[in-house]
Amino acid sequence: MEVFINESIHNGLLQYSKHIGKQSLHQVHIFEFWVTRVLVNIYGEENILGTFKAENDKKFKKNLTIYGLKQTEVTQFINLMEEYDNWLNSPYLVSKTDLPTKIEAILIKMVSLKAKKEKTSKEELDEYYVFFDPIKGDLAKYKDFVVADKTITPSLWREERAALEGKKKTKVTSELLPASDYKRFGLDIGEVKYLEKDKIEEINTRILEEQSSDDEKAVFDPKKLILTSGSGFVDTLVLLSIIATQIFIALLIAFTLVRG
């Protein structure tokens, strides 16, 4: 069989097949195995493993959108898995990485999207807990050794699970990308989470499109999206306010220099 989509996804599916056959797993690919296991929990074995056996990569990708995951997010997930494989096989593997955290954030969103359409059982939630917040075993050791900040995913998952169990009325966290994604575009996740839901989704979509684009020059300014209210009149007032503030600061500096 040729490589299915990319090496990382292929290895995860192979390891899951071994798991079903009660064969021992290759510990180097424990992360890919668990990613596949989570995908099977969300979408069903036929939609994930079945497409692998049928060598139908298009169907595999399409199945990831069943519950509403955007195509740009599917592309991002696949690209991140490929980046993870490149990192894993790099001859310069000397530091930890945030790639697992980024991949897990998308998986948590997949869980959330499914929960909006189908009731999630406690057993299924417990299964996710083993992956997103491991406290012992090989997976916990792996995350200690590999993940740059192992506190991000458990925190994200606990909030999401609380929302799924009805212990929280809102779940803004599930709509957020990893903090590093915002930082790349000059944003702080602490600022983003207080924006309106539609604005967060708009920024997320633009960031995901940017990350999946082959055009290296196509960099957008998300702060412009934050300032855009949808009302030309309000936007003009905001812009004038910013200009006035900048002029005031310039005058203050000039005045200070003259007096000095």
Phi, psi of 165 (to 5 degrees): -90, 5
Q: Please check whether residues 109 and 235 belong to one and the same domain.
A: no
**199 lies in some domain:** no
Q: Same domain, yes or no, for 243 and 162?
A: no
The dihedral over CA atoms of 72, 196, 158, 26, expressed in degrees to the nearest 10, equals 10
pLDDT for 68 equals: 95
User: Is residue 220, in this structure, part of any structural domain at all?
Assistant: no
- End residue of a domain, out of 154, 175, 196: 175
Q: Is residue 55 part of a domain?
A: yes
At residue 219, the pLDDT reads: 63
Q: Is residue 57 part of a domain?
A: yes
pLDDT tens profile 14-66: 999 999 988 888 889 999 999 999 999 999 999 999 999 999 999 999 999 99
How many CB atoms within 10 Å of residue 197?
10
Tell whether 194 is covered by a domain: no
β-bridge partners, 97? 147
Are residue 33 and residue 141 in the same domain, yes or no?
yes
The pLDDT assigned to 238 comes to 45
Verify that 13 and 123 share a domain, yes or no: yes
pLDDT given at position 226:
56
Select the more confidently predicted residue: 40 or 208: 40
DSSP, collapsed to helix, strand or coil, labels residue 147 as strand
The 10 Å CB-count burial string (b at 16+, else e) for 140-178 is eebbeebbeebebbbebbebbbebbeeeeeeeebbbbbb
Residue 149 and residue 234 in one domain: no
Q: Are 188 and 223 in contact (CB under 8 A)?
A: no
Residue with tokens 């220099």: 257
- Among 160, 181, 183, 54, which Cα is nearest to 107's? 160
Asked which of 175, 194, 210 is the last residue of a domain, the reply is: 175
Contact 197, 172 (CB under 8 A): yes
Residue 71's pLDDT is 93
What does the pLDDT read at residue 172?
Answer: 43
pLDDT tens-digit map of 87-141: 998 877 667 899 999 999 999 999 999 999 998 888 888 889 889 999 888 889 9
Q: What's the pLDDT at 125? A: 87
Are 41 and 153 found together in one domain?
Answer: yes
What is the extent of the structural domain holding 64?
A: 7-175
Q: What is the count of structural domains for the chain?
A: 2
Of 96, 77, 74, the closest CA to residue 35 belongs to 77
18 belongs to a structural domain: yes
Which of 108, 143, 175 lies at the terminal end of a domain, its last residue? 175
95 and 14 assigned to the same domain: yes
Tell me the pLDDT tens digit for each residue of 141-190: 999 989 988 889 998 898 888 888 876 544 444 467 878 888 887 777 76
The reply to whether 213 falls in a domain is no
Residue 208 counted as domain residue: no
Query: Based on the domain organization, do 46 and 159 belong to the same domain?
Result: yes
